[in-house]
A and B are shown apart, each in its own frame.
Chain A
Amino acid sequence: MSVPLNINLQQILIHLLNFVILFAVLYFFLYDPVKKFMDNRIQYYQDIDEQAKQNLQEAENTKKEYLRKLNCVDNEIEEKRQAAYKKISENTAESMLLAKQKAESIISDARKKAEDEHNKILEQAQDEIADMVVAATEKIVLKSGTSESYEQFLAAAERSENNE
């Protein structure tokens, strides 16, 4: 039986053998080495990319940590400032209280001293008045030299006592 188009099985097999050899040659000499090189290069750049991403992540974490610490420092400063302000306020209040007490004491002492002085001046004035009255009486008595004068004196002395 003749095969259409003169297809020859033996020649097909020789063609196949030829192609299998060609396939092996192309695979081992070209396809595989070139593909391996390309895959290695892809891997190399992926590793670099991965490393860069990791470094970026670490930098982000460090930045966050610094920001957190910075915020803590600000809070700490604020707390210390408030504590200092509070202490100053307390000290001021205490000082004012002491000053007030001292002022009150000074005023009280001054008042007492003024009153004593007043009493003393009043006593002196009374004494001086009494002396002046005695002196005047003596003068009057000496001028009139009578019992009438004496009576006047007594009356005056009595009036004076009543007034007091």
Chain B
Amino acid sequence: MDKDKKIIMIVIFAVVLALIIGTVIVKATGDNESIGELMRDAVLHETNKISLFGLKDVNPGLISAFTVTGILFVFSLIVRIFVIPKFKMVPGRFQLLLESLVGFFDNLAKLNSPHRNKFLGAYIFAAGVYIFTGTVFELFGIQVITTRGASIALPAPLADINGAVMIGCLSYLIILSGGIAGNKLKGVVRTLKEFSLPVSMSFRLFGALLSGALVTELVYHYIHLSYGLPVLVGILFTLLHALIQTYVLTMLTSLFYGEVSEPSHKIK
């Protein structure tokens, strides 16, 4: 190991040691919520509200949703202006990443709904990107001030029950639209047969993301769990369930969409 690397290692080690000592010495300030109150608020959003431009107090998840949309808007705009016009026939790494992403959702739509899939592909792409980015977003722990003056980290947009209900019901409506477009009244009947779908999709998503948030809250609440463990719980679990929930919702939506939009075959 050369001299420069040794110096860097020593500096990193010193910083980590100083942070560990600092976390032990410095006492937490602000209102000391119990873990029970924290978890109850994460589920019901009764106490910690954020002011939406002074118009209304909303759940933190809605602010997260706006932030995620803003981030994706800027990212998409930059990609559209600076990257896509320079696309090559033999793709580079970033182009390959974008093409794989679009190709994955497009193929998922074509595979599960071979008869009608153009709109479905675009929808599951948007939903998939939103769920994944929104879930990973909670890792950044962006701080906001609640209406009570406390500081909280922004959660995943879909850890808010309203966001999860929105995406679950919207997916159901998209499936219904596929049924109408493919089979008219028969499609409506087929979709209505799956009446539990919006509830199951909404609460599956809400439950999965909320459980991630609760486990993270639990880990960070106790000082002795905050060393090393967040690397596993906070990052790996979040990434894993971001991928799983993205796949589950998009796959279910495309599967049901394909089922209700499939042309009915007359029995001879």
Contact A31 B103 (CB under 8 A): no
Q: Is A66 close to B, CB under 8 A? A: no
Collect the chain A residues with CB atoms within 8 Å of residue B121's CB: 31, 35
Q: A15-B65, A22-B69 are in contact. Are A44 and B89 (CB under 8 A)?
A: yes
Contact B76 A25 (CB under 8 A): yes
Contact A6 B46 (CB under 8 A): yes
Contact A15 B163 (CB under 8 A): yes
Q: A5-B161, A23-B123, A23-B126 are in contact. Are A30 and B80 (CB under 8 A)?
A: yes
CA of A12 to CA of B148 in the docked complex: distance in angstroms? 23
CA of A6 to CA of B162 in the docked complex: distance in angstroms? 9
Closest to B90 in A: A41
Q: How far is the CB of A27 from chain B (nearest CB, A)?
A: 5
Closest to A8 in B: B162
Collect the chain B residues with CB atoms within 8 Å of residue A44's CB: 89
Q: Is B125 close to A, CB under 8 A? A: yes
Contact A7 B170 (CB under 8 A): no
Collect the chain B residues with CB atoms within 8 Å of residue A41's CB: 89
CA of A6 to CA of B46 in the docked complex: distance in angstroms? 8
Collect the chain A residues with CB atoms within 8 Å of residue B62's CB: 11, 14-15, 18
Q: Is B38 close to A, CB under 8 A? A: no
- Residues of B in contact, count (CB < 8 Å): 44
Collect the chain B residues with CB atoms within 8 Å of residue A12's CB: 162, 165-166, 169
CA of A11 to CA of B57 in the docked complex: distance in angstroms? 10
- Residues of A in contact, count (CB < 8 Å): 30
Q: B84: which of A10, A15, A19, A37 is its contact (CB, 8 Å)?
A: A37
Q: Is A133 close to B, CB under 8 A? A: no
Collect the chain A residues with CB atoms within 8 Å of residue B59's CB: 8, 11
Q: Which residues 187-204 of B sit at the A interface, judged by CB distance below 8 A?
A: none
Q: Is A33 close to B, CB under 8 A? A: yes
Collect the chain B residues with CB atoms within 8 Å of residue A14's CB: 58, 62
Q: How far is the CB of B70 from chain A (nearest CB, A)?
A: 10
Q: How far is the CB of B130 from chain A (nearest CB, A)?
A: 6
CA of A104 to CA of B43 in the docked complex: distance in angstroms? 136
Contact B44 A6 (CB under 8 A): yes
Q: Is B129 close to A, CB under 8 A? A: yes
Collect the chain B residues with CB atoms within 8 Å of residue A21's CB: 69, 73
Closest to A20 in B: B170
Contact A6 B126 (CB under 8 A): no
Q: Is B106 close to A, CB under 8 A? A: yes
Closest to A34 in B: B102
Collect the chain A residues with CB atoms within 8 Å of residue B157's CB: 15
Over the window 51-67 of chain B, the binary record of Cβ atoms lying under 8 Å from chain A Cβ atoms (1 yes, 0 no) is: 00000101100100110
Q: Which residues 141-191 of B sit at the A interface, judged by CB distance below 8 A?
A: 157, 160-163, 165-167, 169-170
Over the window 99-123 of chain B, the binary record of Cβ atoms lying under 8 Å from chain A Cβ atoms (1 yes, 0 no) is: 1001101100000000000000111
Q: Is B72 close to A, CB under 8 A? A: yes
CA of A161 to CA of B122 in the docked complex: distance in angstroms? 148
CA of A11 to CA of B162 in the docked complex: distance in angstroms? 6
Collect the chain A residues with CB atoms within 8 Å of residue B58's CB: 11, 14
Contact B98 A34 (CB under 8 A): yes
Contact B44 A26 (CB under 8 A): no
Contact B79 A38 (CB under 8 A): no
Contact B166 A26 (CB under 8 A): no
Q: Is B45 close to A, CB under 8 A? A: yes
Collect the chain A residues with CB atoms within 8 Å of residue B20's CB: none
Q: Is B87 close to A, CB under 8 A? A: yes
Collect the chain B residues with CB atoms within 8 Å of residue A26's CB: 72, 76, 122, 125-126, 129
Q: Nearest 4 A-B pairs (CB), nearest first?
A: A29-B76, A15-B166, A29-B80, A11-B162
- A residues with a Cβ closer than 8 A to B are 5-8, 10-12, 14-16, 18-19, 21-23, 25-35, 37-38, 41, 44
Further contacts, 10 of them, CB under 8 A, given A16-B170, A23-B122, A34-B98: A6-B46, A14-B62, A15-B65, A16-B166, A18-B69, A19-B65, A19-B170, A26-B72, A34-B84, A37-B99
